[in-house]
Structure 1
Amino acid sequence: MHDSPQVAEAAAARRSGARRAFAASLTGTALEWYDFAVYSAAAALVFGDLFFPSEDPLTGTLLAFSTYAVGYVSRPLGGFVFGRLGDVIGRKKVLIATLVLIGAATFLIGVLPSYDTMGVAAPAILVLLRFAQGVGVGGEWGGAVLLSSEFGDPKRRGFYASAAQVGPPAGNLMANGVLAALGVALTEEQFESWGWRVAFLLSGALVGFGLWIRAKLEETPVFKAMEAEQTRPETPIREVFTTQPRALTAAILCRVAPDVLYAMFTVFVLTYATEELDMSRGSALTAVLVGSSLQVFLIPLAGAVSDRVDRRVLYGVSAVAAGIWPFVFFPMADAGWFALAAGVVVGLAIHSFLYGPQAAFIAEQFSPRLRYTGSSLAYTLAGIIGGAVAPLLFTALLSAYDSWLPLALYIALTVVVTLVGVLLGRDASHAIEEDAQLAVTAPRPDDAPAKSL
């Protein structure tokens, strides 16, 4: 029996909406992570001298990484505020607000005078702007995941949700590419004096492009269905903590190891290569650039693979590989740049097969009406115990023991934590069933538009 023209038209419209949402999720998240990654790279390379002067370069680096951590610590505020709003007023409006917030903060960092000009006010303002970046990213991730996955087929949630996961490596690729180009074009003195600011100021134009894309999107079908049924939560944060504690715990723990692994191979590796292996700044950035470029393709591939195999099993196997690889990477990195670059590529490839399925796995832990809040809280709270402290601990452990072994053991410990989260989590079938039930009441394209809030 053939579908009616109306059904076929509705299906085509949904596919078109899914493609637009995938692009909007990817580009918007990439732009926000460009801003975040520019700061991360600058913290490793120049912020220690410019904003935290000290006779001991390691001390300056530690202080610079402390401001890096502020961007993670502030994420839960973004998760609480914007996550709640995403389940109450809609995904689209919140995603526009988070993009504006992080873009403005990044632009202002680009014009912030250094410690030599402003004294202690300079690092204080830098920390405040970094805090604003973290708030924006904290509210961004959950919405970006839902923006793409709620337009797509629930049975392909792994692929569609991976659009938001491509954002970090794509943003990291753009950020490190810009910094690498500036490092080649400018002298060391020019780069440290004003060249690094160019990468921050570019965010103004990039954010404008992202806003243009997101403003053209409609609200997601899932949120429209919740509006039609009038099932939007009034107190989503309280509901998540009281009704879905296991889901929240599983979602938090499953993120820890991927965050730490990413911090190692995109942030700390820059410090390790330049200070421990005596490589140039440009060489270290190039290694990260190569790994990040491959992630842009590997992450959606991993998401698609997770739609065809058991998502939890794929996640668990990838986590075990993440625990083993650092014990191989550090010895081989001593052999020179090519060995370092190969090690970074493999490390980020392993991360891809964690990060690609991760968005779908986390979203599937929560019911549709609490997904933005639950996903945002899990993402941001995990960041505090994962990515926020990782560069600090890596630096402190290396300083204390003068050996890579404690760093590798630390990563292995976080893998154990993540495996516990995977075991606690539920599989995809529950979420697919919930979405199917909600889709019955979703407004059709020819229905009256949902009431604006």
Structure 2
Amino acid sequence: MTTAPTAARPARKDLIKAFVASLSGTSLEWYDFAAYSVASALVFGQLFFPDHDPLSGTLLAFSTYAVGYVSRPLGGFVFGRLGDTLGRKRVLVITLLITGISTVFIGLLPTYGQVGALGAVLLVVLRFAQGVGIGGEWGGAVLLSSEFGSEKHRGFWASAAQIGPPAGNLLANGALAALAATLTSAQFMSWGWRVAFLLSAVLVIFGLWIRVKLEETPVFQELQQKGEQTSTPVTEVFTREPRALISAILCRVGPDVTYALFTVFVLTYVTQTLGMPKSWAVTGVMTGSALQLFLMPLAGAVSDRLGRRRVYAIGAAGALVWPFLFFPMIEGGSAGTLMLGVIVGLILHALMYGPQAAFVAEQFSPALRSTGASLAYTLAGVIGGALAPLLFTALYAHYGTWVAPASYLAATCVVTMIGLALSPTAARAASR
């Protein structure tokens, strides 16, 4: 077993800068992803796949959504490896640019009515690039904040990367909701949705400013000084630490699918099946995301005291049961009940996602952490988040009942619990 280098404890201002750098980057990445998710549910089916009925068009739009997950392993392999060989900071500047530029270009895309199928092809290409950037971002962002902090508080500091999804989701949904509220339906469909994607340029500039000024992590600096870096981190993760990789992959599946149900599929289900205004679901998602801004670091901090797996497992157990209560309770058509159901779903997601960054990072030795964490994150995304919106929609279309998507989510939560059970012991994880 490889023990962590004993790097000098950084100044608190450097720790805060690392926290902000990690948070700002992942917030941008997830702003981009969330804007795409909402647009897939609400407008892309009509703009890029207009020859199909509404449900089929949504399925095709969600297929392009899945491309962003399928391409993540490429980013994980390439940038995870570079994070262990060149450093965490350099990689995070590159991934920020890839995702940000891709998102701006999506906002400039011509639609099917303007260039035919070429618009859909370009959409898929840019979605692929987004996924590559995200795939390389998460592992480095987790280490950027956690390797500046002490091991005793790793759950809290590592949660900076985890706050990115709710922060980005909140910003994206807020921007799209504001546009939808101030523009007519024709204006929103014509050009309003583009503004949300073009706004990501502002976040790119801010994220770059923070990251360029930051020093490399103390842990990586000490690895360099001691010559403990490896030139083959991908190979070594698979040969030396396969159990850690399997555990980290499986534990991530349930949270990804939970998040997809309560932030993506719910938008389609309540509007197309229950006939509710889309603003109700969007408000619930935004409120739940706002709460997650505080719940993520809180769950991470609690995991520092109670243990990662215990907090994680509580969230997984709750997410397993909740959809079987959620779907029946929203069939009455109440705005308050819908919002409450979405918020509770996102609270359960926060209990899993808050400790996740520290949990995954702790499974791997320091010299392989960037590669191991990136591979686990991206490979799990393919079998979890990538297929989730598509499968939720397809299962409901085939069976005609909410029980099918609810059962699918429950099964993925069982997979997560298996991953937690397979993880190295708490003592071994804490010693790294």
Question: How does the TM-score come out when normalised to structure 1?
Answer: 0.92
The residue that corresponds to 2:23 in the other structure is 26
Distance 2:9 2:249 in 1: 36
Deviation at 1:17, TM superposition (A): 1.4
Contact 2:255/2:349 (CA < 8 Å) preserved in 1? yes
Distance 1:415 1:32 in 2: 25
Deviation at 1:433, TM superposition (A): 2.5
Contact 1:312/1:427 (CA < 8 Å) preserved in 2? no
- SS of 2:11's partner is helix
Deviations 1:15-71 (A, max 9, x none): 221111111111111011101110111001000010111341100000000000000
Deviation at 1:286, TM superposition (A): 1.2
2:223 aligned with 1:191: no
The residue that corresponds to 1:337 in the other structure is 335
Deviations 1:243-283 (A, max 9, x none): 11000000000000000000000111110111112112222
Contact 2:10/2:148 (CA < 8 Å) preserved in 1? no
Select the structure of larger CA radius of gyration: 1
Distance 1:247 1:12, change over 3 A: closer
Which runs of no fewer than 5 residues in structure 2 stay unpaired? 1-6
| Alignment match of 1:382 (pick from 380, 383, 390) | 380
What is the percent sequence identity of the aligned residues? 64
2:386 aligned with 1:408: no
Deviation at 1:428, TM superposition (A): 4.4
Contact 2:162/2:357 (CA < 8 Å) preserved in 1? yes
Which amino acid counterpart does residue 250 of structure 2 have in structure 1?
L
Deviation at 1:12, TM superposition (A): 7.7
- SS of 1:46's partner is helix
> Paired residues, what number?
425
- Alpha-carbon RMSD: 1.1
Question: How does the TM-score come out when normalised to structure 2?
Answer: 0.97
Distance 1:236 1:187 in 2: 52
The residue that corresponds to 1:208 in the other structure is 205
Alignment of 1:4-403 (within 5 A): 13-335=10-332, 336-403=334-401
Deviations 1:375-430 (A, max 9, x none): 00000000011000000110001111111011111111111111110001124433
Deviations 1:101-132 (A, max 9, x none): 00000000000000111111110010000000
Deviations 1:183-213 (A, max 9, x none): 1000111101100000000011110111001
Deviation at 1:11, TM superposition (A): 7.4
Deviations 1:289-314 (A, max 9, x none): 11111111101000000000021122
Distance 1:430 1:225 in 2: 21
Distance 2:10 2:422 in 1: 37
Which amino acid counterpart does residue 203 of structure 1 have in structure 2?
S
Distance 2:301 2:120 in 1: 43
Which runs of no fewer than 5 residues in structure 1 stay unpaired? 1-9, 435-453
Deviations 1:336-383 (A, max 9, x none): 111010000000000000000011110000000000000000000000
- SS of 2:431's partner is helix
| Alignment match of 2:415 (pick from 414, 417, 426) | 417
Distance 2:273 2:220 in 1: 51
Distance 2:410 2:35 in 1: 28
Contact 1:21/1:147 (CA < 8 Å) preserved in 2? yes
Contact 1:183/1:191 (CA < 8 Å) preserved in 2? yes
Distance 1:13 1:231, change over 3 A: closer
Distance 2:185 2:426 in 1: 51
Distance 2:147 2:427 in 1: 15
Distance 1:12 1:390, change over 3 A: closer
Deviation at 1:214, TM superposition (A): 0.7
Deviations 1:114-154 (A, max 9, x none): 01111111100100000000000000000000000000011
